[in-house]
Amino acid sequence: MIAYQSVDELVETAMSEGRNISDVVINQQAMEQHCSVDELYQQMACNLEVMRESVQSGVASKHRSPSGLSGGDAHKLLEAIKKAQTVGGTTLGMALVRALAVTEVNATMGRIVAAPTAGSCGILPAAILTVMDTKEIPEPRAIMALFTAGGIGLVISRQATISGAQGGCQAECGSAAAMAAAAIVEMIGGSPRQAAHACAIAIKNVLGLACDPVAGMVEVPCIKRNAIGAANAFVAADLALAGIESAIPADEVIQAMRSIGLQIPAALKETAEGGLASTPTGRKLAGRLLGL
C-alpha cells in the first residue's frame, strides 16, 4: 500500500522527519519495490543521463521529423540566444532550448524519458538541467530532486490523471510543470511546503488546457507547449521560493484538474477532432500526412 496518497501527506511526512520530499519518496519506493535505496538512486541517475543525452541530441539536430511538422527549433533558438536576439535571459532561454530539444528528439523516435508522458517529456529535463547549470547544483541533489518530481507525479496520477486522452493537456504538460516546479524548489533549498505551493501554482496556470494534436501526432502544438511548460515551472518555483502561496492547496488543485478533465469534450482530448487540429491549416496538414 502506498504511504502517500496526497501532496499534503508527502509534505507533512517530510517536515515531521526534517527531510526533503525526495527522501520520503525514495525510501517508500524502496520498501514497495523490495530493493535498496542505492539501486533506485542509480536508476534515477541513469534517467538523468538519458535526459542529458536527449538535450544534446536535440540541440545538435537541424533535421525535420519524419512528418515534417517539427525539427530544428531548439538549434534555432540556441543560435538566437548566442546572438543576444532574445529578451528572456539566459536561464529561461536555455530552459526553452532544452524543452524543445527533448521533444524534438521524441518526435524523431529518439530516446527520451517519459516525464510523466512522452508528450510532456521536455519540461522536467529542461528544469532540472537548466537549474543544475545556472546554479551549479551538484548532480546528486538533482538526482534526488527527480524523486520529488516522481512523488508529485504519482500523487497526480492517483488523484486525477497524467493522460491527455483522459484529462487534456492540463494533465500532461500541467502535471509535468508541477513536477518540475516542485523539483526546482527542492534543488534551490526551498521547503517541502514551498514545493507543494509551486506544484499547485503550476497546475493552476494551465487548468482547462486542451489536448488537440494536429493529425494526432505529438508535435503541433505539443512541442511548443513543452517550452511553455518549462517556463511555467520556473514561474511557479520563483513565486513559491519568494514565499508566495497558492490560495488553493495542491491536492484541491489536482482534484479541480480532474473535475475539469471530466468536463472537457472528447474532441479536445487527444482525438485530433477539435481545437488547433480542426483549424483549416490543421486539417490540411492532417490530410497531407494521413492521405485524407
Q: Are 218 and 173 in contact (CB under 8 A)?
A: no
When the pLDDT of each residue in the chain is averaged and rounded to a whole number, the result is 97
Of 181, 185, 230, 213, the residue nearest 286 (C-alpha): 213
Q: Are 33 and 59 in contact (CB under 8 A)?
A: no
pLDDT tens, residue by residue, 79-117: 999 999 999 999 999 999 999 999 999 999 999 999 999
Domain range list for the chain: 7-290
Q: How many Å apart are CA 273 and CA 285, to the nearest integer?
A: 13
Q: Are 199 and 250 in contact (CB under 8 A)?
A: yes
Distance of CA 57 to the CA centre of its chain: 19
pLDDT tens, residue by residue, 61-79: 999 999 999 999 999 999 9
Confidence of residue 4 (pLDDT cuts 50, 70, 90): confident
Task: Tell whether the model's pLDDT for residue 292 goes beyond 80.
Answer: no
Model pLDDT, residue 2? 54
Find the helix packing angle between 73-82 and 89-107, rounded to 10°: 160
pTM to 2 decimal places = 0.97
pLDDT tens, residue by residue, 222-246: 999 999 999 999 999 999 999 999 9
Confidence of residue 189 (pLDDT cuts 50, 70, 90): very high
pLDDT tens, residue by residue, 23-55: 999 999 999 999 999 999 999 999 999 999 999
What is the fold of 7-290? 2-methylcitrate dehydratase PrpD (1.10.4100)
pLDDT tens, residue by residue, 112-167: 999 999 999 999 999 999 999 999 999 999 999 999 999 999 999 999 999 999 99
Of 241, 165, 158, the residue nearest 199 (C-alpha): 241
Model pLDDT, residue 192? 98
Model pLDDT, residue 6? 97
Model pLDDT, residue 233? 98
Residues 34, 36, 40, CA angle at the centre, nearest 5°? 100
Confidence of residue 291 (pLDDT cuts 50, 70, 90): confident
pLDDT tens, residue by residue, 253-274: 999 999 999 999 999 999 999 9
Model pLDDT, residue 1? 42
